[in-house]
Amino acid sequence: MLHYAVVFFVVALIAAVLGFGGIAASAAGIAKILFFVFLVMAAVSFVFGLIKR
């Protein structure tokens, strides 16, 4: 999940440099959503890992 967030962030940076503002904003939004999904999943995994012990 984090890998896809980084890929979309890189796509957003390249699109912004080339002047494609709409594509850059969309890719940055997707990257942001994927990053927060990753954080939630990591936190849940951490909590359940502690509970199993």
Question: Would you say residue 53 has pLDDT above 80?
Answer: no
* Average pLDDT of the residues of the chain: 91
Q: pLDDT, tens digit, for every residue of 7-40?
A: 999 999 999 999 999 999 999 999 999 999 999 9
Give the C-alpha separation, 28 to 9, whole Å. Answer: 6
> Total domain count for the chain?
1
| Residue 15 lies in domain | 2-52
pTM of the shown model: 0.79
